[in-house]
Amino acid sequence: MKILIYGAGVIGSIFAWKLTENGYDITVLARGDSYNEIKENGIVFHNPLNDKTSETKVKVVDILLENDLYDYIIVTVQNTQVDALLPILAKNKSKNIVFVVNNPLGYSKWIKHVGSNRIIIGFPSAGGERKQGAVNYFIGTGLNKIFQSTTFGELDGKMTERLKEIYKIFKKSGFSPSISKNMDWWQKTHVAVILPIAKALYRHSSNNYELAKSYRTLENMVLGTRELFDVLKKGNIKITPQKLHFYYLPIIIVVKMWQLIMNTKMAEYAMAKHTIVGKKELDILEKQFMTLNSRGIELKYYNKI
C-alpha cells in the first residue's frame, strides 16, 4: 500500500507517523524548512499527556509529478491552501484522493478539477502544534470519540471497497475511525461546532483553562452553536453525526460538560493550540459558513461570544 501524505503540518505528520509505524509505505510531501527538517531528522513527536517523545523516519518529497502513482493521496492542508494544489492534483494519475480539509461550501470546485470518481472526503480527530522541531500531538480515541472521531465518506454516501480499505488502514493505525454517509452535512456541522469554540477561546487569549472558568462565555458558546445549527436546519442540512444533538440537553448540563473538557490537556492541544496557528483559516471558514445563512437567522448569542 503506497500512500502520499500531501502536507507536513501537524495532521499530516501524525498520519505519516502512525501509518508508517503500522507497516504502510508512506511518503510525505513537504516544502521549505519542513522538507529539510523531515529529510534530515525524520518527524519528532511529543505526547504532552504522558511526556513521551518518539521519532519516525519517513520518505519525503517536495513535488508531486504527473506519473507519481499512489494508492491514496491524503491531502492534509488548510482550507486556504487547497486551491493552489488542485491543478497539481488534476495532472496526477493516482486514482484516490482523500481530502482531509475543513470545507463548509461543498465539493464542486474539487470535482471540477480532479473528478468525482477520485474524491474521498475525510476529517481527523487529532491536533496539536509544531514547536522547536517536534510535534506536540493529540489523537482522539476512546471516550474522545464521543465528541469527534476521524471520519471518512464517499461523495455519494455509498460503502465502497476503497472506503472500507481507508477505514481499515486508519483503524489498524490506531485512529478509531468512523464512516459517514453524508460528509457534506458532517463537514458543515463540524464548522458550526468549531467556530463558536474558536470565538470562545479567542475571548480568553486561546487559554482553554481560563475559558473553563467562564460559565457565561461557555453558555454563549453553546447557545451560539445552536444558532449555527439552526442555519443548517433551515437549509435542510441535518446535524451530523447525530451524537452532536447533546448540544440540546439542558444548558447547565452542556456548559458543565464543556467546563470539564476545557480544563484538560486534550482541549489545549486539540483545540486551543489550533486557534493560535489556524486564525486565518478560521476567519475564512466563518465567512464561508455565513454564506449559508441565506434566511438571515439572527445570531444573537454567537455574536456575544
The yes-or-no verdict on residue 145 having pLDDT over 60 is: no
The yes-or-no verdict on residue 48 having pLDDT over 60 is: yes
pTM confidence score: 0.92
Q: Mean pLDDT in the chain? A: 92
- Per-residue pLDDT of 51-106, as tens digits, reads 777 888 999 999 999 999 999 999 999 999 999 999 999 999 999 999 999 999 99
The three cell numbers of residue 145 are 470519540
Percentage of the residues of the chain whose pLDDT score is greater than 70: 96
For cell 484522493, name the residue.
97
Q: Where are the beta strands (DSSP E) in the chain?
A: 2-6, 25-29, 43-47, 52-56, 59-61, 72-75, 97-100, 119-123, 126-131, 134-139, 151-154, 178-179
pLDDT for the residue 282: 96
- Residue 4 forms beta bridges with which residues? 27, 73
The three cell numbers of residue 262 are 476545557
pLDDT for the residue 274: 87
Q: Which amino acid is at 140?
A: G
Rounded to an integer, the average pLDDT of 283-302 is 95
Rounded to an integer, the average pLDDT of 124-134 is 76
